[in-house]
Amino acid sequence: MSLSSCNLAIILASLMTIGLVGADLNVTVHFDATYAIDSSRGPICSGEGAEPNGIVCPLKDDVATADCHPSYSTYNGTDCIAPADAKCVVGSDSLWRCVFSDGDNNGLDADVEDLTSTLTIASDQTLEDSPWGDLPWRAPPPADPVSTTAEEHVAIAVA
């Protein structure tokens, strides 16, 4: 009886291992559908900040498993098909995401260009140009809407 229990344990362990190797992870491409990624490829592209938590994205000709809509450029009439290998990139919001870089990168270049323009404009200013030194983004102090002299303050206080 212990032999059959041992065999059953080995069979169950083997089945569980086989199931885990082929597990799919879902990753959504920015402004596109959701694709299934085999977990054996590694961690999917995600995270926030300087480094992603993973870099795996859909590959060319992968078929979307969810969220496929006719308005997407990847829609072929029945399915959404990855037109190219998606890339893991960081957006201006510091979030890492998969995008297709086949010329239609779903607006992420616009974010990068806008940010570059902003940084270029800010870097054109020198510290001498800013009344706040190295804090060019600091708002000026609120202006007093009514300017009164010291004599007017005394007159108001006496009255």
Chain centroid to Cα 14, Å, comes to 38
Tokens of 127: 């510290």
C-alpha pair distances (Å), 91 with each of 71, 80, 83, 98, 101: 22, 23, 21, 10, 13
- Show the CA angle centred on residue 90, arms to residues 45 and 75, nearest 5°: 65
pLDDT value, residue 15: 47
pLDDT value, residue 1: 44
- Across the range 55-83, mean pLDDT stands at 96
Chain centroid to Cα 93, Å, comes to 6
Which has more pLDDT, 140 or 29?
29
pLDDT value, residue 95: 95
The answer to whether 25 and 16 are in contact (CB under 8 A) is no
pTM, rounded to two decimals = 0.53
Q: What are phi and psi of 8, to 5 degrees?
A: -60, -40
Does 69 score more than 70 pLDDT? Answer: yes
| 87-135 pLDDT per residue, tens | 999 998 999 999 997 554 444 444 444 444 444 444 455 555 555 555 5
Residue type present at position 61: D
